[in-house]
Amino acid sequence: MFLNYWILPILFILHDFEEMIVMPIWKKRYHEQISGMRHPYFGAVTNGQAFSVGVLEEMLIFICVSIVSYVMHSDGLYLAFLIVYTLHFLMHYRMCLTFHGYVPGVASATLELPIMIWLIISYWQKSQMTIGRFIIFFVLAYAVMIINLRVMHKLMPNIQTKMVVYTKR
C-alpha cells in the first residue's frame, strides 16, 4: 500500500519540527558553549527559517525515496533509508553526552526509536533480500544522506545571509 511508504517522511518531519522550533533559541541560550566548539552543533546557522530550508530539502529526498520505493516495489531501498535515518539518532545521543545536556532533536529521536526499530524489522522481513543487495542499498542511502548533509551545511549559512539581506531591503 502506498501509505506504508509515507511513514519515513512523516516521522522525519515530526523529528525535525523539534529541531526547527528549539534550535534557534537553544543556540542563543548556549551560544558561549557552542561557539567554542570546532564543529558547532547544527552548523553556523542560527536562523530557524534558514535551517527550515535544509529540512525542506531533506524532506523532499525522503518523499522521493518513498515514491521511488512504492513505484519500484523496493522495500530494500526503503529499508536502507529507514536504517540511515535511525542511525542519525546516534549523532543526537552523542551530542547530548558531549554537551552534557539536552540537544534539539534528542527527545523526538528517543520517542521515534522504538517505532523505527519495529519498522526496520518489519521491512527486513518483508523485503527478503540478500545481505549483498542490502549493502548496496545501504551504501547508496548513506552516501546520499552524508553528501546532502555536507552540502546543506555549507549552503545554509549563505541562505541565512541572503534572508537577512532580503529583510533589510
Q: For 132-166, what is each residue's pLDDT tens digit?
A: 999 999 999 999 999 998 888 888 888 888 888 88
What global pTM score does this model have?
A: 0.90
Band (71; pLDDT cuts 50, 70, 90)? very high
Whether the Cβ atoms of residue 69 and residue 5 lie closer than 8 Å to each other: yes
> How far apart are alpha carbons 8 and 83 in whole angstroms?
10
Mean pLDDT over the full length of the chain:
90
Q: What is the pLDDT of residues 119-132, one digit of tens each?
A: 999 999 988 889 99
